[in-house]
Structure 1
Amino acid sequence: MPRVAYPPLRIGILNLMHDRAATRARFEYVLQQANVAVQTEFFYPVSHYRQRAVPVSVQALAAPLSEVELAKLDGFIITGAPIEHLAFCQVDYWAELQTLIDQLVAHSLPQLYVCWGAMAALHHLYGIDKVALPQKYFGVYANQIYQPHPVLMGLPPTFLAPHARYAEMNRRQILAHPALQLNAESVDHCLMLVSNPRAQQLFLYAHLEYEREALLAEYQREITAHPEREYRQPQNYFADPLTMQAPQFKWETTQRHFFNNWVTQITQHKAAAHKEDLP
C-alpha cells in the first residue's frame, strides 16, 4: 500500500528498557511500517544518571530528555522497563517521569505508554494501583476486544498478542473510572489495552513492538542473570515447547494493524489541530 503524502511525523520515545539498542530497533521498525512517514527521536531520563556519567552507549542511542524538544513532536511513547517489583517511588527517575507525563498532557500530545510505562502513567494520571501477579504472565495469548477503539480497527474480535510482565493494574479501579475505557484484555482477564480517548492516551500492556525472537531473548536474559532461579518459559510461543525451538511470530498481524492505526490517529489529530489554528 503506498504511503500517504504527509510530512514525516515526529515521534519521541523515552527508552527505559534494559536492551536499549534492540528496543530502539523494534520501535523504529514497527513505526516505519506505517502508511505515513515517521521520524523517531529517542530520549533517556537524565535523573537516572545523576550520580554517574551517562554511558557512551546510551548517548549513542538517545538524547537527554528535554521539554524544549517535546514541543516539536507529534506524539510520544514511553516504553516498558523490567522494574515491576519496585514501588513507583523507588524508581530513581520517578519524579522526572511524572513531570514528563504532565508535560505530554499539557502539550496535548498523543501518548502511547507500554507495559511498565503504562503502569506508571495509569498510576500517576488516574491513581490506579499496581498489583503483583503470582507468576510472570509470559507468552502469546488470545485477547478479546472489550470496547472498540480506532487502534484496534482491522483486528478480529479475538486476536493474539505477546505479554511479559510480573504485575497488573487494578481492573476494578479502571472499570470504575469515568475517564478510562478497558478496550481489550486477554482471555485470562489480564489487561491488553486501556485508553482515555478524549486525552489521546493509550495504555498498552502487551509488547506489540516485539519481533519474533524477542520473548526468547527475554527468557534467556533472565535465566542468564539468575541461573539459580526457575523461570517459566513463554507460553504458546514455540512450535516445539519441549526443546524451545522455532519461536512463532503469531502477533505479526496485530502489530501491523495497531501501530499503523496509531500513526494514522496522530496524523488525524495533527490535521485537526492545524485546522483549528487557521484564521
Structure 2
Amino acid sequence: MPIKIPQHLPAKEILEKENIFIMDDSRAAQQDIRPLNILILNLMPEKEKTERQLLRLLGNTPLQVNITFLKTATYDSKNTSQYHLEEFYLTFAEVKEKKYDGMIITGAPIELMEFEEVHYWNELKEILDWTERNVTSALHICWGAQAALYHHFGINKYTLPRKCSGVFSHRVLDHTEKLLRGFDDEFFAPHSRNTDISEETLESHPELKLLASSEEAGALIISSRDSRKIMITGHLEYEATTLAEEYMRDKEKGIGIEMPENYFPQDDPEKNPTNRWRSHAHLFFSNWLNYYVYQETPYEWD
C-alpha cells in the first residue's frame, strides 16, 4: 500500500526516483475505498486445488477482495464434482453484464492442441474480448497467457522438444515496472508446459513488454504496454509439491516424462522439494492487486 506524505515534503522527489510508492495529501483526500471484485476463470482440471493456490495469494492484502469463480458453459469439467461447480461457479452468461476490477484466467493442460481445436475456444474468445471493456486488469497464467497472446496479439505458441518442467532462475528485465517492485534481480519460478513463446517475437511486438525471463525456461512475465493485460507463462501460484504430484501422475499413466529440473533435492523424488518462489509469488500478486487493479480501477464503473 502507498505511503501518504505531505505534498511538498522534500523526500517526496527522492522516494519517487527510487520507485517507492507514495501518495500526497491531495490525492489521498480524494480516495474512496471499496472491496475489489475479482473474477477467476478456472480452466484447470483439479479446480479445488487451483482455488486454494490462488486464494492464498489474493488474500495477502489489507483490502477486501470479493471473488467470483467462472466456469465454461461449452465444456463440462470431468475432475470436479457437479455439486461443487453448481454451488460455487457461474457461467459467462451470468456475469457478462457486470464490471470487474480484475480477472484471472488460469492455465489448462491442453497446450498441445491448436487453439481452434479446444472445445471452449469460441467461448474463451468472447470472454477475452469482453475483458477489454469490462475488466480493469486481466492476469493470464500459463496456457491462459498463451491464449491471450494468440488472441489479442497474434503470437502463436510452438511445441518444445521436451516438456519444460522444473524450477528455474529468472532475471528482472525492467526494474521500473511496478509489477516487479521489490523483486530481487534474480528469482525462482516453476514451469510446467509443453509449448513456448518466442522471446524475439515478444520483444519486437510494439504492444508488449517482456518483464522477466530465464535462460533455461524462456519468457516468464509479459505485459501489454497499457498494463491492462498481464501474461505469466509459469506457475508462481504452485505449492511446493505441485510439480511432484504432476510428475508422479504422469509416470503412473505411463507418459514418458523427465524429472522436473532443479526441483527435488539431489534429484531424488523420494525427498521433499522446497518452495523457493513463495515470497515472490506473494509479491507478484500483491503488486498486481495494488498497482494494476486497486490504483487503476474506477470507484464507480460507468
How high is the TM-score relative to the length of structure 1?
Answer: 0.89
Q: Which residue identity lines up with residue 109 of structure 1 in the other structure?
A: T
Q: Deviations over 1:16-58 (max 9, x none)?
A: 00111100111111100124221211110101149xxx93343
Q: Name the Cα RMSD after superposition.
A: 2.3
> Does 1:17 find its partner at 2:44?
yes
Stretches of structure 2 that go unaligned for 5 or more consecutive residues are 2-31
> Does 1:268 find its partner at 2:292?
no
Give the 3 Å change call, closer, same or farther, for CA 112–231 of structure 1 in structure 2. Answer: same
The 3-state SS of whatever aligns with 2:163 is strand
> Does 1:235 find its partner at 2:261?
yes
Q: Which of 204, 208, 211 is the aligned partner of 1:183?
A: 211
Q: Which of 161, 165, 171 is the aligned partner of 2:189?
A: 161
1:85 Cα offset (Å): 0.4
> Does 1:205 find its partner at 2:205?
no
User: Does the CA contact (< 8 Å) of 1:108 and 1:199 recur in 2?
Assistant: no
Task: State the alpha-carbon separation in 1 of the partners of residues 268 and 277 from structure 2.
Answer: 21
User: Does the CA contact (< 8 Å) of 1:211 and 1:249 recur in 2?
Assistant: yes
Q: Which of 147, 154, 157 is the aligned partner of 1:130?
A: 157
> Does 1:174 find its partner at 2:199?
no
Task: State the alpha-carbon separation in 2 of the partners of residues 260 and 267 from structure 1.
Answer: 10
Larger mean CA deviation between 130-139 and 28-37 belongs to 28-37
Paired residue total:
268
Task: State the alpha-carbon separation in 2 of the partners of residues 194 and 82 from structure 1.
Answer: 20
Give the 3 Å change call, closer, same or farther, for CA 230–33 of structure 1 in structure 2. Answer: same
Give the 3 Å change call, closer, same or farther, for CA 176–25 of structure 1 in structure 2. Answer: same
Give the 3 Å change call, closer, same or farther, for CA 215–189 of structure 1 in structure 2. Answer: closer
What corresponds to 1:120 in structure 2? Answer: 147
The 3-state SS of whatever aligns with 1:209 is coil
> Does 1:75 find its partner at 2:97?
no
Task: State the alpha-carbon separation in 2 of the partners of residues 276 and 31 from structure 1.
Answer: 22
User: Does the CA contact (< 8 Å) of 1:21 and 1:61 recur in 2?
Assistant: no
> Does 1:217 find its partner at 2:245?
yes
What corresponds to 1:43 in structure 2? Answer: 70
The 3-state SS of whatever aligns with 2:244 is helix
Q: Which residue identity lines up with residue 140 of structure 2 in the other structure?
A: Y
Task: State the alpha-carbon separation in 1 of the partners of residues 300 and 92 from structure 2.
Answer: 29
User: Does the CA contact (< 8 Å) of 2:34 and 2:299 recur in 1?
Assistant: no
1:177 Cα offset (Å): 1.0
- Identity %, equivalent residues: 32
Task: State the alpha-carbon separation in 2 of the partners of residues 12 and 20 from structure 1.
Answer: 14
> Does 1:259 find its partner at 2:290?
no
User: Does the CA contact (< 8 Å) of 1:46 and 1:65 recur in 2?
Assistant: yes
> Does 1:151 find its partner at 2:173?
no
Q: Which residue identity lines up with residue 249 of structure 1 in the other structure?
A: N
User: Does the CA contact (< 8 Å) of 1:36 and 1:263 recur in 2?
Assistant: no
User: Does the CA contact (< 8 Å) of 2:100 and 2:135 recur in 1?
Assistant: no
Task: State the alpha-carbon separation in 2 of the partners of residues 260 and 80 from structure 1.
Answer: 20
1:67 Cα offset (Å): 6.2
> Does 1:27 find its partner at 2:54?
yes
Runs of 4+ aligned residues of structure 1 deviating over 6 Å after TM superposition are: none
1:146 Cα offset (Å): 1.7
What corresponds to 1:60 in structure 2? Answer: 87
Larger C-alpha radius of gyration, 1 or 2? 2
Task: State the alpha-carbon separation in 1 of the partners of residues 190 and 145 from structure 2.
Answer: 15
How high is the TM-score relative to the length of structure 2?
Answer: 0.82
Q: Which of 116, 125, 128 is the aligned partner of 1:89?
A: 116
User: Does the CA contact (< 8 Å) of 1:6 and 1:37 recur in 2?
Assistant: no
Stretches of structure 1 that go unaligned for 5 or more consecutive residues are none
1:173 Cα offset (Å): 1.9
The 3-state SS of whatever aligns with 1:7 is coil
Task: State the alpha-carbon separation in 1 of the partners of residues 238 and 57 from structure 2.
Answer: 9
User: Does the CA contact (< 8 Å) of 2:41 and 2:106 recur in 1?
Assistant: yes
